[in-house]
Amino acid sequence: MELIEVNDKKTEELFLEVPKTIYKHDKNYIPHVKQDVQKVFDENKNKLFKQKGEVKRWILMKDEVLIGRVAAFINPKTVKTDVHRMGGMGFFECINDQQASFLLFNACKKWLLERGIEGMDGPINFGERDQFWGLLVHNFTSPNSYGMNYNPPYYKDFFENYGFKNYFNQFVYWRDLKVPAQEVFVKKAGMIAQDPQFKVRHMRGESAEKITTYFLEVYNAAWGGIAGFKAMRLEQAKAIINAMKVIMDKDILLFAFLGDKPIGFYLSIPELNDFFKHLNGNMNWWGKLKFLFHYKLSKRKTMVGVVFGVSKEFHGRGVESALIKYCEDYVVPLNRYTETILTWIGDFNPRMIKVIENLGTELYRTLVTYRIYFDTSIPFERHPIIGEKMNREKTDNVQIVTKDKE
């Protein structure tokens, strides 16, 4: 077996080709859009490089056949937020050969050790948690969702046999939109609705600029002050909303207001892999035409929640319930979507898990973020629970949502 560094256009193309070997007989697999993967490693498009982030990639070949790949990285935003200096690894693919998988893991370990890193999390993204994050360990019988990791069942043994341990679980939930909201949500929504200044509405007719303003205000009010959280800047909010423009359905962008002040949101988009599955992983000019064709003409079924949040000062007052009830009263009658996906939610966020489970959802898919310390004498600790006072508390409370239904 030959381990080869990715250092030019030829090896980069081979890196992108590896999944075709792994999933050529898997009918459930929908390829990631290659341009999305390329952006992660593009110094002109991934801002982490400007913050002195580092990346190294490898491909693995045997008898001139591609059999694996992996990436190792140092995220400058997170490497110093832990007691131990942690790196990451991801974009792992490998044939069913443990020796080959260990070669790839060892390459990451050696590279990270040379840079003073004490351990690594994986498989994760060199970027935010909304894409390419976690190892699938439950439900291999349904197609993967846009931006969400999908892998063969044997990967779990590779990680655990190498020494990785479960740092946190990522729970994926599904809900039938035709099922009425539970009585507890109806009651809480009714209570806050008695305030004449309170209202929930969709964003149809609103400009992207106005949506950006609402989004930024609620986002920072919902997560500001939480350990590990940095307030979002206007430029970041603009980038997020602009990225959604092409696939935005303003009828499922829901905001709660008290007077003119936005205090909560429940933002969803259509399931993109319903359209991307026709592109074979390539969003070139022809792929864009095919995407637009299917996006405009294909019948929709699933709406995918991108983020759900409420300003901290309004927690416990029924705003969450009002957003959910509005979805039932307004979105469902449109007969555009029949199901919604609520994922992924880390097991370190029991409050949100309780809310979602009370909504009558089904837990049908689980991913795992693994961690390994290179010095085995370092005591292993799982991800801190949100709300517990711990010296190493760090959170990511944004709820990313995607679809995978069994």
Residue type, 190: G
Which residue(s) pair with 342 in the sheet? 173
In this prediction, residue 166 carries a pLDDT of: 98
DSSP state of 329: I
Cite the residue boundaries of each domain of the chain with CATH code 3.40.630.30.
Answer: 2-169+364-373, 178-337
Structure tokens at 69: 């790949």
* CA–centroid distance for 278 within its chain: 22
Structure tokens at 76: 């400058």
In this prediction, residue 294 carries a pLDDT of: 65
Residue type, 19: P
Closest by alpha carbon to 254, among 237, 272, 267, 235?
267
Q: How many CA atoms lie within 13 A of 202 on its CB side?
A: 18
DSSP state of 189: H
Which residue(s) pair with 264 in the sheet? 256, 310
Using CA atoms, how far apart are residues 269 and 235, in angstroms rounded to an integer? 21
- The 10s digit of each residue's pLDDT in 23-70 is 999 988 999 988 999 999 999 999 999 999 999 999 999 999 999 999
**What number of other Cβ atoms are within 10 A of residue 157's Cβ?**
12
Q: Are 253 and 202 in contact, with CB atoms under 8 Å apart?
A: yes
- The 10s digit of each residue's pLDDT in 222-267 is 876 564 456 788 988 888 888 788 788 999 999 999 999 999 999 9
DSSP state of 169: E
Using CA atoms, how far apart are residues 37 and 202, in angstroms rounded to an integer? 32
- The 10s digit of each residue's pLDDT in 92-138 is 999 999 999 999 999 999 999 999 999 999 999 998 888 899 999 99
Closest by alpha carbon to 162, among 122, 112, 132?
122
Structure tokens at 135: 């190892």
pLDDT band with cut points at 50, 70 and 90 for residue 406: very low
Q: How many degrees, rounded to 5, is the angle at CA 144 between CA 138 and CA 305?
A: 95
Classify the phi-psi angles of 125: left when phi > 0, otherwise alpha if psi is within -120 to 50, otherwise beta. Answer: beta
DSSP state of 3: E
CATH of domain 2-169+364-373: 3.40.630.30
Q: What is the mean pLDDT of the chain?
A: 87
Pairing of strands 54-62, 65-74: antiparallel
**Which fold does the domain 178-337 belong to in CATH?**
Aminopeptidase (3.40.630)
Question: Phi and psi at residue 141, in whole multiples of 5°?
Answer: -110, 5
DSSP assignment string, 219-256: HHHHHTTSTT--PPPHHHHHHHHHHHGGG--GGGEEEE
Contact residues for 104 (Cβ-Cβ < 8 A; gap 6+): 3, 58, 60, 68, 69, 70, 92, 94
Cα dihedral 237, 238, 240, 244 sign: positive
Helix (H) or strand (E) holding 111: helix 98-113
In this prediction, residue 289 carries a pLDDT of: 76
Using CA atoms, how far apart are residues 162 and 176, in angstroms rounded to an integer? 39
DSSP state of 271: -
In this prediction, residue 285 carries a pLDDT of: 66
